[in-house]
Amino acid sequence: MKKCPRCGAELKTKVLGSIDVDECESCKGVWLERGELEEVKEEADPNLNWLDFEIWKHPEKFKSSKSGVDCPTCGTATASLEYGDTGVEINYCRTCQGIWLDRDELPKIIESLEDEMARKTLSDYFRESIDEAKELVTGHESFMSEWKDLSSVLKLMQYRLFVEKPKLVETLTELNTLNPFK
């Protein structure tokens, strides 16, 4: 039986999308086992699947300090990590790689990632598509997972093209209607 690291209440299973997580019914904090944050994020917004929320992949986005929160799974003291300038402070267990999120922090993370995605330019998406194409061969995830990531980036790049270059899209559409090989 896991206890809430904030208030000591028993954690109960809660389903977020199709993912079982542990929630404190008292303070509404959520414990996510290793990999569950990634799964919950992708269910909340499938377009976010390629935006990895890998804590140590982008150390410049995190400010780390000791926390007073112990891991509900293994009892190890967690590290308190502030994600960029989102105001979200997660508690990360270095032993089992679980994450404690206080009330309303998960929606803030999703919103932050969606904002990051919306701020990207066509050039950013072009660079991201090249990186994702490389990960098809060298990535640590399965081929299908890497393929989905690349497909998402290409789709988002297409949307950004529509926004940033509407005349180009109009011209390409007109050329497509003139195609004699149809």
pLDDT higher than threshold 60 for residue 56: no
pLDDT higher than threshold 70 for residue 181: no
Q: In percent, how much of the chain has pLDDT > 70?
A: 88
pLDDT higher than threshold 80 for residue 182: no
Amino acid at the residue 137: V
Instruction: Return the sign of the alpha-carbon dihedral for residues 24, 97, 134, 62.
Output: positive
CB 62 within 8 A of CB 81: yes
Average confidence (pLDDT) over 100-127? 89
Of 19 and 60, more confident: 19
Q: Tell me the β-bridge partners of 99.
A: 32, 92
d(CA 122, CA 3): 46
pLDDT digits (tens, 9 = 90+) for 136-175: 888 778 888 888 888 888 888 888 888 888 888 788 778 7
For residue 65, give Cα distances in angstroms to 33, 78, 79, 89, 179. Answer: 21, 9, 6, 10, 60
pLDDT higher than threshold 70 for residue 60: no
pLDDT higher than threshold 90 for residue 10: yes
pLDDT digits (tens, 9 = 90+) for 101-113: 999 898 888 888 8
Domain boundaries, the chain: 11-119, 122-177
What is the pLDDT, as a whole number, of residue 63?
A: 64
